[in-house]
Structure formats: C-alpha cells, structure tokens
Amino acid sequence: MSVRVLFFSQLRDVCGTDEIDFDLEIGTGTASEKEQSVGDLLSTLYQRFDGLAKWDARILVAVNQEYAERGQVLKPGDEIAVMPPVQGG
C-alpha cells in the first residue's frame, strides 16, 4: 500500500526531505495480520529517520488534511502530514 508522507517545519530538517512516497506492508487477509495504522507508520518512520522518534510525544499527524489519532487505519493513496506542535504568536 502506497501513501504520501509530508514533513513540516523542524521535522523536515530532521528527515532531510519534505515528502516521500512510502510503501507500507499490508496483510494477506489472515487473522494474525492487521491493517496499517498511523501508529504503525510512525513506528516505521522512526526506524528510517534518526532523530524523529525524540519528537514522538509531540508529533501531530493529519490524514488527508484532517487531524488523526494513532489508531486511525490508513488506506492506499492517503496523504499523511507529520508536524511538530502548532505554535502561535
């Protein structure tokens, strides 16, 4: 399953890119395999990009331009935005 991941602000610097097309493995339909969630994607991104995991408690995620919880199931073609905390001023 392919999704597009966008990185914003400091997280763009941490990852060294502003976006990637990312292939997530999906189950073959057996009961022991599950759908991929936002949390699963984040875990995989933490392994791929050194330094991203330290932001875990503060990261905001949006799926298709709507804020999402980590348990939200992803679908092929989703656009996932990974952002640092919103700052105002």
CB 39 within 8 A of CB 18: no
CB 48 within 8 A of CB 34: no
Furthest CA-CA distance within the chain: 50
pLDDT for res 25: 74
Q: What is the pLDDT of residues 12-67, one digit of tens each?
A: 999 999 999 999 876 554 443 568 999 999 999 999 999 999 999 999 999 999 99
pLDDT for res 64: 98
- In terms of pTM, does the model score above 0.75? yes
pLDDT for res 48: 94
The domain spans of the chain are 2-83
pLDDT for res 88: 59
| Reduced DSSP (H G I as helix, E B as strand, rest coil) percent helix, strand, coil of the chain, to 5 | 20, 25, 50
Q: Assess if CATH 3.40.50.970 describes domain 2-83.
A: no
HEC readout, 14-56: HHCCCEEEEECCCCCCCCCCCCCEHHHHHHHHHHHCCCCHHHC
